Amino acid sequence: MSEDKSTEETIENIKDAVEDAVDTAQEAIEDAVDAVEDAVDAAKPPLMQLREEKPLVFYGAIAAVVGLGLFMLSGDGGSATQHTQSQSAISLDKSYILKAPNSVGESSLKILKVPGSMASFDNSEDVICNAPVGTSVIARGFQDAFGKKQLFVQVEIPAEVADCRAGVKGWTLKGNLK
């Protein structure tokens, strides 16, 4: 009987040890889960945290940005309108210099066979030549387009420059002349 008692005690000790090990493992797992959750919360971008913590502020800021964007888009385009109105008048048979107002550094302008054809910029057959900025030209005619008077100017290049022959005629935007 003493053998049975000692076996029972051993079994009881083993059970206690296993329960202690299980409890320790559960605590370690819970600590690891808490650490992972904290790390995920800390890794959230500030905007996501703001959305979760203060949704009214978050969505109010979005509405303000959208409203400001719509306000800017719905403006009357005053600066663009003033720019085209303040541009000096182009006279026929007068000399001008080619400029590229929307470019930086040295560039060239495509002199086109047909005024206003956007496909011409992708189709080399519609381009007469590429004139560098600063090329002297003579205004020979005008073309209205897109509801704007004299948007395109037919120009003649009096002297050979780059791949443009002397006397070649083609079209460019009025804004490309100064």
Domain segments of the chain as ranges: 2-73, 89-176
Please state, in angstroms and rounded to a whole number, the distance separating the CA atoms of residues 124 and 130: 10
* Residue 81, token pair as written in the block: 């309108």
For residue 171, give the nearest of 146, 140, 148 by alpha carbon.
140
Residue 84 CB contacts under 8 Å (≥ 6 apart), including other chains: 148, 175
- Measured in degrees and rounded to the nearest 5, phi and psi for residue 48 equal -70, -40
Please state, in angstroms and rounded to a whole number, the distance separating the CA atoms of residues 100 and 173: 10
* Structure letter (DSSP) for residue 98: B
pLDDT of residue 19: 94
* Residue 5, token pair as written in the block: 């008692």
* Residue 143, token pair as written in the block: 């073309």
Over its length of 178 residues, how does the chain's per-residue pLDDT go in tens digits?
A: 566 778 888 999 999 999 999 999 999 999 999 998 888 877 778 888 888 889 899 899 999 999 988 888 886 555 544 444 445 688 999 999 999 888 777 788 889 988 877 666 677 788 899 899 999 999 999 988 888 888 899 999 999 998 999 999 999 989 889 8
* Structure letter (DSSP) for residue 114: S
Single pTM value for the model: 0.50
pLDDT of residue 42: 79
